Amino acid sequence: MVKIFGHRGAAGTYPENTMPSFRAAEQLGADGIELDVQLSKDGTVVVIHDETVNRTTNGRGRVNSYTYEELSRLDASHSFYKKTGFCSIPSLEEVLRWLQGTQLLINVELKNNKLPYRGLEESVIHLLRKYELEPRAVLSSFHHASMVKCRELAPDIETAVLYKRGPHKPWEYAQKLGAGAIHPNYAYIADPVVELTLAHGIAVRPYTVNKEKYMRKLMRLQVTGIVTDYPEVARRVLQEE
């Protein structure tokens, strides 16, 4: 059965990468959540998509120029199109503590393809182990060397290579890197490539699939999962298929 991952929680209807968004994803029928992590100035793993706080919060500047305490005072609902009231930037630990009490899967995207963030891999793995979430987790990144490092550090945690336009034979590439999955942009992956990748035992979870038409197409191909801003739509489409 195709697993539905709420992108940044339920980012279509709640401020992305916030606790209300993650809770909503669960209530809207997601099997799992996807979130993005960066490091604060004092080395806390924080859940935010961009390297700066400019787009999503009422602050300015780089995430890694703020301590976690300073970051948690910023309003992550600031730029959302609907008024929702204050939402903080959560730490990964806060999300995992909550997630432990649910049945949800988790896709942690390490946002280390622009800034190096030394020690991010070790910190994320440590937290997943602390909350015993290894069997429910997949680590992903556009920085594929980081996924190789994660694999070496934690062979028991699945890794995924994340990309927009991928290699010709992504299953061979994934196998070479020890990755169990590819996370391609749904718009650039051809149906036969999906089928061949799955046939080679590599999981396929395309992102970010928000239109019913493409959800249906991918569900018929029996992809492992889809990442969507609208888990409620994906749940309905899956029930109809």
**Residue 183 binds: one of Ca ion, ligand G3P, none (C-beta under 5 to 8 A by kind):** ligand G3P
Helix (H), strand (E) at residue 56: none
**Nearest residue to Ca ion, scored by beta-carbon proximity:** 109
**Positions 110 through 149 that interact with ligand G3P (CB under 6 A):** 140
**C-alpha dihedral (80, 98, 93, 179), degrees to nearest 10:** -90
Minimum CB separation of residue 199 from Ca ion in Å reads: 27
Residue number, 70 or 133, with CB nearest to ligand G3P: 133
Residue 126 is encoded by which pair of tokens?
A: 């440590």
Rounded (5°) CA angle 147-7-101 = 85
**Per CB under 6 A, 109 contacts ligand G3P:** yes
Note the Cα 231 to chain centre separation in Å.
14
Residue number, 67 or 138, with CB nearest to ligand G3P: 138
Of 233, 219, 198, 231, residue with least CA distance to 105: 231
Strand pairing category for 45-47 and 32-39: antiparallel
Around Cβ 142, how many Cβ atoms within 10 Å?
A: 17
Rounded (5°) CA angle 17-239-5 = 20
**Positions 142 through 201 that interact with ligand G3P (CB under 6 A):** 162, 183
List the x/- string, 73-92, binding to Ca ion by CB under 5 A.
--------------------
Minimum CB separation of residue 69 from ligand G3P in Å reads: 25
**Per CB under 5 A, 109 contacts Ca ion:** yes
**Positions 23 through 62 that interact with Ca ion (CB under 5 A):** 36
**Residue 75 binds: one of Ca ion, ligand G3P, none (C-beta under 5 to 8 A by kind):** none
- Enter the DSSP assignment of 62: B
The catalytic site residues sit at 7, 49
List the x/- string, 22-41, binding to ligand G3P by CB under 6 A.
------------x-x-----
Which of these segments, 63-71, 85-93, 108-116, 170-178, binds Ca ion (CB under 5 A)? 108-116
Of 192, 232, 187, residue with least CA distance to 206: 187
Instruction: Provide CB contacts within 8 A for 217, sequence distance 6+.
Output: 191
**Per CB under 6 A, 229 contacts ligand G3P:** no
Q: Which residues bind Ca ion (CB under 5 A)?
A: 36, 109
